[in-house]
Amino acid sequence: MVKTRNYKFRLYPNDSQQYKLQNNLAVCRWVYNKFVDFSKNGFVSRNDCNYYLTELKQSESWLYKYHSKMLQSISAQIDGSQKALIGLNKKGYHAGKLRFCRYENYRTFTYNQTGFKLETHGDKTLLHLSKIGLIEIRQHRSIPENSNIKQIIVTKSKSRKWFACVTVDIEELLTNIPKILFSKSVGIDVGIKSFAYDSNGCQTPNPKNLQKMLKPLRRIQRKVSRRKKGSNNRLKSILKMQRIHERIANRRKDFQHKLSIQYAKNNDVIFVEKLEKLNMVKNHRLAQSIMDASWGTFVQKLEYKCKMLVEVPARNTTINCSRCGNAVPKSLAIRIHRCNVCNLVINRDHNASINILNKGLNKLPQELREVTLVENPKGSMKQEEATGLVRW
């Protein structure tokens, strides 16, 4: 069995190498805009773009100085973008056409199949790129020996840092097929006050990464607005602002990776709500907190890390009682669920996570649900022991 994995490493080019990398970005952007102009009359396939690239090389001989596979990868990018626009138009969206790319918006180029090599010189690891040379790479983790490197994507971040994303194919023997135990299931309710509250009663507070950095972010945004447009001082202030945004994003990714791997290791099946996030951010009082929490990316990390992820409808998961099913309406200010039928007193997020778990288990086939602990919605002794419910 062959699995595809991506490894992202930091690059540390010197001044001359940085100039060559930036020059590659400029050339790729120029070719990209040529392809966009070539496709303005209709759809063009990948082969058509490659034929047009050959004509461009004949008229512009300086293109031969750059790696051919790097330029050909742009045709695949154009082909994928056109197919994505066609798919959106079929779904009823007004997607429009491809647009020309600006200088600061094009920040990546690809070496596919050839033109790269990882070399070890003493304690350092160097990445050899064709037409550029050896660049120091910080390989913080090793790549498996039985893997085959397929391509390398070089990216420049907005804070002017260079990264290399190494795509490898790893051959693994299926000696032990992992078994899914549905008794090791958990329901997760995501929120603003508590980032995650699961059906086992574990609560993870919201780190609020954006809110903690709002003061320096507002200060640097005021500096950017006072600088004259087009000046070097404005560019320096924008660079500082980009570094703050990058620091916020890195903290958010680090927190979500650590939390998602914890849930993936301890549980085989994870149930989450299927939230309509675009509708939720229409509430301007909560929009900033919802976007800062970034529930969608957290669910994506859970999806590729855990053995099985199931999304359940979010309707009435907070309102319904997890023991008797009675509807108990409450506003966002009320954080405790109190049922007047079964006298259940529990945290509202904990109650919602148990409802998510029960909905997910009922969604599974009958022969799989029989091995689970939480089965009786009326609240048997086993269910109370498993979920930790508290009577009033």
Please state, for a pLDDT cut of 70, what percent of the chain lies above it: 92
Query: Which has the closest alpha carbon to 349: 327, 322, 376, 323?
Result: 322
What is the spatial distance between Cα 40 and Cα 94, in angstroms, rounded to a whole number? 16
Query: Which has the closest alpha carbon to 267: 209, 194, 186, 356?
Result: 186
What is the DSSP secondary structure assignment for residue 376, as one 8-state letter? -
- Map tokens 């507002």 to a residue: 218
Predicted pLDDT of residue 72: 93
Predicted pLDDT of residue 1: 74
Q: Using the predicted structure, report yes or no on whether residue 7 has a pLDDT greater than 70.
A: yes
Predicted pLDDT of residue 244: 95
What tokens appear for 340 in the block?
Answer: 């007047």
pLDDT in tens, 327-380: 888 888 888 888 888 888 888 899 999 999 988 888 776 555 544 444 333 343
Predicted pLDDT of residue 368: 53
pLDDT in tens, 97-128: 899 998 888 999 999 988 999 988 888 899 99
Domains of the chain by range and CATH? 2-171 (no CATH), 185-208+246-387 (3.30.420)
Mark 329-359 as b/e (b = at least 16 C-beta within 10 Å).
eeeeeeeebebeebebebbbbbbbbbbbbbb
Three-class SS state of 203:
strand
Q: 223 phi and psi, to 5 degrees?
A: -65, -40
User: Burial of 53 by CB count in 10 Å (0-12 exposed, 13-18 middle, 19+ buried)?
Assistant: buried
> What CA–CA distances, in Å, run from 240 to 81, 225, 252, 355, 371?
32, 13, 19, 45, 55
Predicted pLDDT of residue 328: 87
Predicted pLDDT of residue 365: 65
The amino acid present at 166, given as its one-letter code, is: V
Q: Residues near 170 by Cβ (< 8 Å), separated by ≥ 6?
A: 2, 3, 4, 5, 144, 146, 147
Predicted pLDDT of residue 175: 63
Predicted pLDDT of residue 257: 94
Count of positions (residues) in the chain: 392
What is the spatial distance between Cα 306 and Cα 355, in angstroms, rounded to a whole number? 21
Q: Using the predicted structure, report yes or no on whether residue 167 has a pLDDT greater than 60.
A: yes
Per-residue confidence band for 389, with pLDDT thresholds at 50, 70 and 90: very low
H or E element at residue 382: helix 381-387
DSSP state letters, 27-55: HHHHHHHHHHHHTTTS---HHHHHHHHHH
Decide if 376 contacts 322 (C-beta within 8 A).
Answer: no
pLDDT in tens, 286-315: 899 989 999 999 999 999 899 888 899 888
What long-range pairs does 376-385 form, CB within 8 A, spacing at least 24?
377/323, 377/324, 377/325, 378/323, 378/324, 379/323, 379/324, 379/342, 383/323
Predicted pLDDT of residue 186: 92
- Map tokens 């595809």 to a residue: 4
What is the spatial distance between Cα 70 and Cα 163, in angstroms, rounded to a whole number? 16
pLDDT in tens, 308-328: 888 998 888 888 888 888 888
Predicted pLDDT of residue 40: 87
What is the DSSP secondary structure assignment for residue 229, as one 8-state letter? T
CA dihedral over 180, 182, 183, 185, signed as positive or negative = positive
- pTM above 0.85? no
Q: Which runs of consecutive H residues, i.e. helices, occur in 267-371? A: 277-280, 287-293, 295-305, 348-363, 366-369
Q: Using the predicted structure, report yes or no on whether residue 209 has a pLDDT greater than 80.
A: yes
What percentage of the chain's residues is helix, strand, coil (to nearest 5)?
45, 25, 35
What is the spatial distance between Cα 322 and Cα 339, in angstroms, rounded to a whole number? 10
Mean pLDDT along residues 80-98 = 89
**Chain-centre distance for alpha carbon 359:** 26
pLDDT in tens, 57-86: 999 999 999 999 999 999 999 999 999 999
What is the DSSP secondary structure assignment for residue 227, as one 8-state letter? S
